Structure 1
């Protein structure tokens, strides 16, 4: 029985207050991992419009902990400057904003649970994580979130190049796609709200955003005959960034993942070191799901993993191909277990998670990225997975 429906996903710019908070948290994480690849980090940032950086860091020495605490204000100010905020743009002043640092040492009880004997690690917390892949785009991501991210990346490009000099850092994009029989066939609506200079007219904003930002991203063949463009539908958007809205780490978890096209376990990524399975297991689940689709074993795949704090192996693994698998899902589950080591240590080692640059993932999504190299987006085990599933490459 055929079915038609609309599905919508959104993305936000790197200057959105919540993304600023994510990026500051990940910039601090990266600095900690530079000092010590096995540092334990859980950093939260609040911007409103001054900053509070709080959380826990675990280092072998107190001296290193004190050094990072001293560097945090400078790291935060550099992120704001890198995003384009200044005293001249309403939003936040990187030089004058107050920054409070409230970072403790990691609980020794949690540290003992994570640091097991030998090369084994326990999960830094309990929880459930999902990964997803589908054949709707070259990156094996759902089309609505893929296009929404592309719009926000185009926004940054136009802002940085000064092609549209009145663009300001805070923005959101929302893309509605029509599906027929689970296949995306047309973009029906694009909503794009962007902060802008007070001296530019609403007419210029509307026309330029459509011509210079949206149309280069949305292929003409994908545009519905009745496509709607809603530009700044609330009206003027001069005051933005943290001056208009508070930002908080971990408040854009659907933007960070699949735009709502698969379930979410609720755990955020940014500011967390990779022993926290909220982050590392979500990356592993995407890696597995992408292999399944890239190997031709399914057109769409969702993976669920769940862990108990202090335990190295998942307490559960689910493979769901939504009826698109070439063999039963139970067979694929066995093949996944045979092909991938989804223990905490296995994930850390196979995906090189202790030497990643997490700052680059904190805006425009953690998955489906083609502008940066991410190990969980590679598919080196296709042949191995096909053999394990009993469907070797012809």
Structure 2
């Protein structure tokens, strides 16, 4: 039987965290390939991209593979895209500055062996195969209106609100830097989130001599506005810049790499993770697209009122189109049999790589916006971004499962 009263903690990191800087640049590269292909009238279905980024003091290295990309995408364009991303994040410090950091581009063509397994070519491959083997998970729960676990949802929101104030230079928030981390411990009673017992925020400041107390004076009002009324009480313990000074931040303080914050990207530890990162990958890579599909299906199950919590696992083999398995766990909250849901979900959506890309309309430059503050729990955008957050399949799933 699931526990009803407990504490659960999740963390988030801001767009200025070294690893998130790298995620952003990698996703900007993917978006650039799609944007330039669409502008050139090329087939976006053919795009293949896998981009990894490393960032350290005054240096960025971008490496990876691509194929079927437009010739308009040059090394100079990739460098410019990376600089604009770093500038938008807000790095203008001596050890990491958008205008003069060294950016090395080491992108090269995709392996022909991988392409042979993925591309749909008659007579060997009748359908696009998965870009790799692996397992992907999706999750949804009734903690929040967005059907996300409360700890990760509010950890993200705290940093989003602080970043917005920093960039808009709202009052003393202009003294904050781009690099920050948050952590929220949520208290659950009878299975529902009701308050927070611990709040952690470590935030870079660009005014060197700010004390932890001064940083807390800036941050605390934003935290209080972010969390639901009544969640912060006298017993709530605050940890704001607990080590004291946090002046040197970003890649100058700690080397960043793409794909090192996969729990931040997903459910904050409230659900399993298959192990594959998302950023820098085009949607033929099921690490990304199938994780989006699994979230989409889990969210629609909960939105349909068929469960209060739902975990979905999908598995794939490289070069094989259809998933090898579909697994559903409603954690004892389900209104219908889980085996029934497994059958219904497999029929409700084509879970091949091409089927997922078609259903969720993923062949677009929509990925840079996912690189910070989570890939899930965001409002769907008018241009197709976060399409996996829609609940437009809920009625069909409910009817089929009846």
Counterpart mapping for 1:31-180 below 5 A: 31-36=32-37, 37=44, 38-49=46-57, 50-59=59-68, 63=71, 67-86=73-92, 89-117=93-121, 120-163=127-170, 164-180=173-189
- Equivalent in the alignment of 1:333: 342
Shift of 1:191: 0.1
CA contact (8 A) 1:210 1:229 kept: no
- Taking the aligned partners of 2:374 and 2:69, their CA distance within structure 1 comes to 32
CA contact (8 A) 1:11 1:174 kept: yes
- Taking the aligned partners of 1:128 and 1:322, their CA distance within structure 2 comes to 19
Distance of aligned partners of 1:371 and 1:305 in 2 relative to their CA distance in 1, 3 Å threshold: closer
Say what the alpha-carbon RMSD is for the aligned residues.
1.6
Is 2:216 the partner of 1:206?
yes
Shift of 1:117: 4.0
TM-score (structure 1 length as normaliser): 0.94
Shift of 1:19: 0.4
Runs (5+) with no aligned partner, structure 2: 38-43
Runs (5+) with no aligned partner, structure 1: none
TM-score (structure 2 length as normaliser): 0.92
CA contact (8 A) 2:309 2:330 kept: yes
Bigger Cα displacement from structure 2, 140-149 vs 367-376: 367-376
Question: In structure 2, the residue corresponding to 1:330 is in which secondary structure?
Answer: helix
- Taking the aligned partners of 2:32 and 2:19, their CA distance within structure 1 comes to 20
Question: In structure 1, the residue corresponding to 2:225 is in which secondary structure?
Answer: coil
CA contact (8 A) 2:51 2:63 kept: yes
- Equivalent in the alignment of 1:385: 397
**Any idea what the Cα deviations from partners look like across 1:160-193, whole Å, max 9, x if unmatched?**
1111110110000100011233322211111000
Matching residue within 335, 347, 350 for 2:356: 347
- Equivalent in the alignment of 1:254: 263
CA contact (8 A) 2:32 2:365 kept: no
**Any idea what the Cα deviations from partners look like across 1:169-222, whole Å, max 9, x if unmatched?**
0000100011233322211111000000214343321222112x2111112322
Matching residue within 304, 321, 328 for 1:319: 328
- Equivalent in the alignment of 2:387: 375
Instruction: State how many pairs are aligned.
Output: 384
Shift of 1:90: 4.9
CA contact (8 A) 1:281 1:347 kept: yes
CA contact (8 A) 1:132 1:301 kept: yes
- Taking the aligned partners of 1:91 and 1:369, their CA distance within structure 2 comes to 33
- Equivalent in the alignment of 2:250: 241
CA contact (8 A) 2:141 2:309 kept: yes
Shift of 1:388: 1.0
Question: In structure 1, the residue corresponding to 2:342 is in which secondary structure?
Answer: helix
Shift of 1:60: 6.0
Question: In structure 1, the residue corresponding to 2:97 is in which secondary structure?
Answer: coil
Bigger Cα displacement from structure 2, 221-230 vs 276-285: 221-230
- Taking the aligned partners of 1:32 and 1:364, their CA distance within structure 2 comes to 23
Shift of 1:371: 7.6
CA contact (8 A) 1:90 1:239 kept: no
